[in-house]
Amino acid sequence: MGYFSSPINKREKINKMDKTKNKEKRISSMKVTRSLIILLMFLILTINISALEINNFAPVKQGQCTTVKQTCASCTHVNTSIFFPNSTIAVTNQGMSDQGGGTWTYEFCNTSDKGRYDVTGSGDLLGTETGFDVLYFEVSATGTELTQAKAISYTIILIISILIFFGLLFIGIKLPSKNKSDELTGYIIAVSNLKYVKTFILGLSYLSIMWIGYFTWMITHAFLDFNFLSSMFKIIFYTLAISTFPLFILYIYFTIVNFIRDKDIKDLLLRGLSTK
């Protein structure tokens, strides 16, 4: 005599399988989220630390010239030395030009490397050769200074963007992707339009992560001397941007296919017929 599993037992098995799958998805999502949060927190911390430094000279755009200035009213000569970001000597004991009124200048054009350039010098202050304090200027891709106000603004924008991304992703994952069906038989009992909302919201989350990739790329490229991070975010942005068009075509295609299929299912349900 054969034994048949009851509908209740079958439903319990289905619920357990669904719970297991959802648990595995949550664990995987948490790992990815944790890694992304750690990376972005490191970036946010780096942005704010960089903004705490105060440059002695105006920031310089990479590849352009800058004028180094020093003041010494009693000096008859002033020399300067400039060091590359890797601490090697760019110029050493070069004479500065007297502009009058105690102002001395030196034009420096070898700014191909990004980073901090230290400036030292000496002059015969009141007849005694005296060294000046170490000054510096920053060379960046844009030639703009990362002030603390800018750093706070960028941090706020980045945090809001991350929250929007995770919010859209959470909503998109939670919404159903199929029509409502009977758990035991698998037959469709009602057409759900929420699956269209799901794909639309997931599309918005995709655009938001693409924006985050572009934003972080621009920040690391313009202000931070992290070529690896800048290149990484650049690759992420370009990969997402290039994938946008084919994904949009697929989105339109599947939306049209599902819309036509749902129309047929509605007709069958109205006639009292069943379908999967």
Q: Looking at residue 4, what is its pLDDT?
A: 43
Q: Looking at residue 243, what is its pLDDT?
A: 94
Q: What is the pTM of this model?
A: 0.63
Question: 43 pLDDT band (50/70/90 cuts)?
Answer: low
In SS3 terms, the chain reads as CCCCCCHHHHHHHHHHHHHHHHHHHHHHHHHHHHHHHHHHHHHHHHHHHHHHCCCCCCCEECCCCEEEEEECCCCCCEEEEEECCCCCEEEEEEECEEEECCEEEEEECCCCCCEEEEEEEEEEECCEEEECCCEEEEEECCCCCCCHHHHHHHHHHHHHHHHHHHHHHHHHHHCCCCCEECCCCCCEEECCCHHHHHHHHHHHHHHHHHHHHHHHHHHHHHCCCCHHHHHHHHHHHHHHHHHHHHHHHHHHHHHHHHHHHHHHHHHHHHCCCCCC
pLDDT tens digits, residue range 62-104? 899 999 988 888 889 999 999 999 989 999 999 999 998 889 9
The percent of residues above 90 in pLDDT, for the chain, comes to: 31
Q: What is the mean pLDDT of residues 153-164?
A: 88
164: CB partners within 8 A, 6+ apart: 208
d(CA 118, CA 121): 10
Highest-confidence segment of 15-24, 87-96, 122-131, 222-231:
87-96
CATH class of the region 60-140: mainly beta
Q: What is the mean pLDDT of residues 133-159?
A: 82
CA distances from 80 to 85, 109, 144, 257 (A): 16, 14, 24, 72
pLDDT tens digits, residue range 179-221? 787 677 777 777 888 889 999 999 999 999 999 999 988 888 8
Greater confidence, 20 or 270? 270
pLDDT tens digits, residue range 104-114? 999 999 999 88
Q: Is residue 145 pLDDT above 90, yes or no?
A: no
Greater confidence, 39 or 251? 251
Q: Is residue 19 pLDDT above 70, yes or no?
A: no
79: CB partners within 8 A, 6+ apart: 93, 94, 95, 96, 121, 122, 123
Greater confidence, 226 or 16? 226
d(CA 108, CA 205): 47
Q: Looking at residue 21, what is its pLDDT?
A: 57
Q: Looking at residue 82, what is its pLDDT?
A: 94
Average pLDDT for the chain: 80
Q: 110-113: long-range contacts (C-beta < 8 A, 24 or more apart)?
A: 111/60, 111/61, 111/62, 111/63, 111/64, 111/65, 111/66, 111/139, 112/62, 112/63, 113/62, 113/84, 113/85, 113/86, 113/139
